[in-house]
Amino acid sequence: MTFIMNPLLYPYVIKHQKQLDFHEFFDQVAPLTFGFPPVRSGKFPGMGEHVQRSFRLLQGENLNNLTETMMGNLMLVFRQDYLTGESEWRTESVYQLCNSIMFEATFLTLFGKPAHTSRHSGMVTLREDFVKFDTMFPLLIARIPISLLGGTKAIRDKLINYFHPQRMSRWSNTSGFIKERAALFEQYDSMGDVDKAAHHFAILWASVGNTVPATFWAMYYLVTHPEALAVVREEIHGVLQVSGIETDHNRDIAFTREQLDSLLYLESSINESLRLSSASMNIRVAQEDFSLRLEGERSIGVRKGDIISLSPQSMHMDPGIYKNPEIYKFDRYIENGKEKTDFYKDGQKLKYYRMSFGSGSTKCPGRHFAVNEIKQFLSLLLLYFDVEVLEGQEPCTLDPSRAGLGILLPASDVQIRYRLRRS
């Protein structure tokens, strides 16, 4: 494996999409992890290309629809589970709060609701089983046989069964993205129901496996930095006031995509927490022997099958790019009232300076939806609640056990107290 550590060289790697491909690596690890047959094995001709095209349903006007639906589902969970009772202080752990709300709201948005009610029964059990599986995820990606991981296979089978096509056919308000994938799978007679369900389970992991910890870090850094929290809360209030919307815990709130896009300080704070918590590796597998030309006359010989890896975390923590990179600076990505996009390394402007969602053609297709839903969650939280970190706790640190796989989990949870804000 060859590591490219200089971010000034990243564009030279990323532009070689034909010679350096991610899908070969994905096809090796995803089937073993999630329990479905390889997509590009020849058994399902054309499926890989169709699956890639389905990701367009996470963008454009479809993104607007997803964002609107997510807003409604977040309000549903907040309203029924948290916007009740008097304004006394309640205690909760940050990760538990983020996980319980974001897991269910995201599930409802993508996969839909039961036929005759607004929420699925057994959601708590589903979430708990997901966490158990997710704990073993790094070992599965490392290709440790699932048979050696205790009860992990039984848990995975249970999770997969939740997405059995017969069960899913009874759900309503399913997203266009999931509908298209389900219709695609039906075109392949050789794909069994369990295989179809396993693909849907993989999408569940993709939609919450990194988003929940990303939400945790975004919330954690805000509530532990009162100045940042005050600025972001004021910005959210200001956007609603311009639209003549009153904030009251008895009123449901809905943000348009345009309003979410205008929340520059909130977005900067989220991007800053992503910079500090993301530890993914961008992996590419060489499809042929070729010479990888770098800057100037430099080049390196690459053989078919060689693995090239970019390590964005080293860039995110580079003091030559980010001043005091270990410090949370909520407005780091704002300059003169606009998004800051000019970052430099050794006097040269960087094309890639923040890579929390990957790069090139394999950049996370759901990244815009993920950022929007984190914005929505934090906006509702700050509008409806006063939130304080309980005293006497050590600063939260990163758990390195998932290094290379995305957003790192916290090494321990953080206790907060919250109450309804007074009108």
One-character DSSP codes across 320-377: TTSSSTTS--TTTTEETTEE----EETTEE-S-S--TT--GGGS-TTHHHHHHHHHHH
Q: Given pLDDT bands bounded at 50, 70 and 90, which one contains residue 131?
A: very high
pTM of the model: 0.95
Please give the average per-residue pLDDT across 354-381, as a whole number.
93
- Whole-angstrom Cα distance, residue 205 to residue 34? 9
Name the least confident of 109-123, 348-362, 363-377: 348-362
Task: Please enumerate in sequence order all residues whose Cβ is within 8 A of that of 187, keeping only pairs 6 or more positions apart, or say none.
Answer: none
Going from N- to C-terminal start, the domains of the chain cover 2-420
Is the pLDDT at 371 greater than 80? The verdict is yes
Q: What is the mean pLDDT of residues 136-146?
A: 96
Q: Can you tell me whether residue 386 is helix, strand or coil? A: strand
Q: Where are the alpha helices (H) located in 256-332, listed in sequence order?
A: 257-261, 264-277, 312-316
Two tokens, residue 415: 């206790």
Percent of the chain with pLDDT over 90: 84
What would the two tokens of residue 99 be? 């996980």
Identify the CA nearest to 261 among candidates 198, 185, 339.
339
* Cα–Cα distance for residue pair 27/25, rounded to 1 Å: 5
Question: Pick from 11, 4, 3: which is nearest to 353 by CA?
Answer: 11
Residue closest to 350 by CA, chosen among 2, 40, 14, 17: 14
Q: What is the pLDDT of residue 423?
A: 63
Cβ atoms of 296 and 302 closer than 8 Å: no
Instruction: Tell me the mean pLDDT in the region 272-286.
Output: 94
pLDDT band at 354 (very low <50, low <70, confident <90, very high): very high
Half-sphere exposure (Cβ direction) of 356: Cα atoms closer than 13 Å: 21
| pLDDT at residue 21 is higher than 90 | no
How far apart, in Å, are the Cα atoms of 51 and each of 45, 265, 317? 11, 35, 34
Q: Which residues lie across from 359 on neighbouring strands?
A: none
- Longest Cα separation, the chain: 69
> What is the arithmetic mean of pLDDT over 69-93?
93
Query: What is the β-pairing status of strands 348-349 and 344-345?
Result: antiparallel
Specify the pLDDT at position 23.
Answer: 79
| Burial track 291-328 (b if 16+ CB lie within 10 A, e otherwise) | ebebeeeeeeebeeebbbebbbbebbebeebbeebeeb
What is the tens place of the pLDDT at every residue in 208-266? Answer: 999 999 999 999 999 999 999 999 999 999 999 998 888 888 889 999 999 999 999 99
Torsion of CA 322, 326, 328, 329, to 10 degrees: -20
Is the pLDDT confidence value at 385 over 90? yes
Helix (H) or strand (E) holding 21: strand 20-21
Residue-wise pLDDT for 298-352, tens only, equals: 888 999 999 999 999 999 999 999 999 999 999 999 999 999 999 999 999 999 9
The mean pLDDT of 153-159, rounded to a whole number, is 98
* Residue 364 marked ligand-binding: yes
Question: Which range is least confidently modeled, 18-27, 30-39, 274-283?
Answer: 18-27
Would the pLDDT of 362 be above 80? Answer: no
Assign domain 2-420 to its CATH superfamily.
Cytochrome P450 (1.10.630.10)
Dihedral, 12, 13, 15, 21 alpha carbons, nearest 10: 170
Average pLDDT over residues 180-206: 96
Q: How confident is the model at residue 22 (pLDDT cuts 50, 70, 90)?
A: confident
pLDDT tier for residue 18 given thresholds of 50, 70 and 90 = confident
Nearest CA-CA partner of 80 in 95, 96, 100: 100
